[in-house]
Amino acid sequence: MILDDISWEIRPGENWVVLGSNGSGKTTLLQILAGYLWPTSGEVTVLGERFGEVDLRVLRRKIGWVGSFLQAQVPPSQKPLEFIVSGKYATLGIFDTPSPSDFEEAAALAERLHCQKILDLPYAVLSQGEKQRLLIARALISKPGLLILDEPCSGLDLVSREQLLSTLESLGRDPEGPSMILVTHYLEEIMPAFGHVFLLKSGRCTAQGEKTAILKPDLLTDAFGIPIDAGRENGRFWCRVALKG
């Protein structure tokens, strides 16, 4: 059993963070939401569409996914704009013929994600941070209703991470922007736009709700199984292992 007794409702306009230790089931939970995995029991409704009654291939186009597993499948010679456009067709290569307006949209997204300087480079040579920004642009081109971000900041330096987080914050403030679900291991990555937290421990939810109620030392200590101190400073959170003595 990987996940058990999960009950979770995300209301329109909410952005959530999923926290839990390695192997607690975060990616599996998100793969279910994105229609890549099917739960053995229970019901899933995403963007108003109930699984079992909807064509998942169609629904999946409304769900953006940013996670490292996609990166391994990108053709090394693919150029950034082609890569972004490929998100529109929900394939990693380009099999349909994209229109000039697709490329205009891709260029606008590249600018929004500060990718203008890398547009002539093949994917294979890009840095981790550049790839992550392109993945987000690619996810946004199909105007998703839900954007799932599975550890999007992994491997980023402090500056790149802060830039990426501020992009997420501006998406979160955009009334036309998608709902977002962010998986992270670091509380300082929880930007103000993310108002809710879902805590997972060994496949079960130990707490969920508004972040100010969930990001507390006692709940975090319970979820991670080690003593944790946590607090808030200038609208951002921090946590550290509570050392004895």
Ligand X SMILES: Nc1ncnc2c1ncn2[C@@H]1O[C@H](COP(=O)(O)OP(=O)(O)OP(=O)(O)O)[C@@H](O)[C@H]1O
Site for Mg ion in 7-36 (CB under 5 A): 26-27
Alpha-carbon distances of 199 from 22, 211, 213, rounded to whole Å: 12, 10, 12
Report if residue 24 touches ligand X, rule: CB under 6 A. yes
d(CA 147, CA 136) in angstroms, rounded, equals 9
15 vs 27, beta carbon nearer Mg ion: 27
Choose the one of ligand X, Mg ion, none that binds residue 42, judging by a C-beta under 5 to 8 angstroms depending on kind.
Answer: none
Pairing of strands 45-46, 49-50: antiparallel
Nearer CB in complex with Mg ion: 27/78: 27
CB 189 within 8 A of CB 153: yes
Q: Which of 16, 17, 25, 230 binds ligand X (CB under 6 A)?
A: 25
Q: Distance between CA 80 and CA 86 in Å, rounded?
A: 10
Q: CB-wise, 123 or 194, nearer to ligand X?
A: 194
- The least distance separating ligand X from the CB of residue 151, rounded to whole angstroms, comes to 7
CB atoms within 10 A of CB 64: 24
The binder of 144, among Mg ion, ligand X, none, by C-beta within 5 to 8 A per type, is none
Determine the Cα–Cα distance for residues 25 and 198; give it in Å rounded to an integer.
12
Q: Does 78 bind ligand X (CB under 6 A)?
A: no
- Per CB under 6 A, does 27 bind ligand X? yes
Q: Applying CB under 6 A, does 2 fall inside the site for ligand X?
A: yes
Residue 134 CA to residue 141 CA, distance in Å, equals 11
The distance of closest approach from Cβ of residue 100 to ligand X in the complex, given in angstroms and rounded to an integer, is: 39
Number of residues that bind Mg ion (CB under 5 A): 2
